[in-house]
Copies of this chain bind each other. A is one copy, B any other.
Amino acid sequence: MSMTTDQLPARTATRERILAAAYDAIVEKGFEATSIEEIATAVKISRAGFFYHFPDKNALARALIERQIIEEGDMLAGIMSRAAQLSDDPLQQILIMMRLMAERYVELPGGYTGCILASTIFQDRLFDAEVRAANRKANLAFRDRFVAQFAAIATAYPPRDPIDPGEMADMLNAVITGAIVVSRGLREPQVLVRQVLLARQMVKAVFQHA
């Protein structure tokens, strides 16, 4: 029982390298367009070596989504706690958060969190039920993270027409995801940032209508 703590590194190290290489390639070219061969070469292992770590490509997709949930969660948690430092008001917090998010998207020229998730959804018939479940889980995690925030805002700043906090949380998710798609479609990277800021402005208008 003394070795269990140290036996992870070798295995997980390669696994992580596979995930990192796959992520880069997929973000650039899409899931289907990225071959296992290619990932294996990038990580300097053989094709069979890949299958040692992942039973099939679905498993890779699943792992990437799970990974994305964690990373996105960490990022949002960071932004949330930073916003909490800067203001006690729930509306101000959201506005700060959205600005921080926009700033993040300026920094990452072509990278954007959540993109892999979206890219897999449309083809998800290719995948098995577990991938779909993982994906659903990611979206629910996003919603849960913001529901309480919007509920607090709605209490402090009652909107003219009633607003469901869950729907508002989904709206944030939808705007970001949609902006990524439109941004890529238009080949105008700045669209993503502007859309987040515009959404921010709209959130402000909805709750701060006085």
Interface set of A (CB-CB < 8 Å, partner B): 28-33, 115, 117-119, 121-126, 132, 135-136, 138-140, 143, 159-161, 163-164, 167-168, 170-171, 173-179, 181-182, 184-187, 191, 194-195, 198-199, 201-203, 205-206, 209
Contact = CB atoms under 8 A, between A and B. Distances in A.
Contact of A138 (B126, B139, B185, B206): B185
A181 B138 CA distance: 12
B201 A30 contact: no
A168 B198 CA distance: 8
Contacts of A117: 185
A159 B126 contact: no
Contact of A181 (B125, B164, B177): B177
Copies of this subunit? 2
Nearest to A161: B201
The A interface is mostly helix, strand or loop, or mixed, namely helix
A123 B187 contact: no
B167 A174 contact: no
Contacts of A203: 202
Task: List the 4 closest A-B pairs by CB distance, nearest first.
Answer: A178-B178, A174-B178, A30-B123, A119-B122
Contacts of A139: 182, 185-186
B136 A187 contact: yes
B118 A181 contact: yes
Given A30-B124, A123-B32, A206-B202, A179 B186 contact: no
